[in-house]
Amino acid sequence: GKVIMNKIFLILQRKSRFKLARCRLVGGMGKKTSTVLRFDYDCVIYVNKIDPPFKELLEEWKNILESHFNNDIGKIQMTKHSLQFEMG
């Protein structure tokens, strides 16, 4: 999980025109409270010098992820503040 998260962060950091500061694992896996049967990874990426709305940023990241991981990424759902997807 952390390996994939770091890979995604580095790809976005390299290809995005926005300045990505750092990435942090949060949620159940970050707090080590997830169960063995069902878990996911929640990742927060901190971006410098950007204010809401985040639509332009998220659309750019969605395009980067789709082009880089084309067959390894499921449908990406975009909300007002996040991208949600499955890998594998």
Residue range 51-74: average pLDDT? Answer: 95
**Cα radius of gyration rounded to whole Å, the chain:** 13
Cβ contacts of residue 75 below 8 Å, gap of 6+? Answer: 85
Question: For residue range 1-58, what is the model confidence (pLDDT) as tens digits?
Answer: 788 899 999 999 999 999 999 999 887 544 455 455 556 788 999 999 999 999 999 9
Residue pair 19/47 in contact (Cβ under 8 Å)? The answer is yes
Q: How many helices (H) and strands (E) does the chain have?
A: 3, 4
Return the pLDDT at 1. Answer: 76
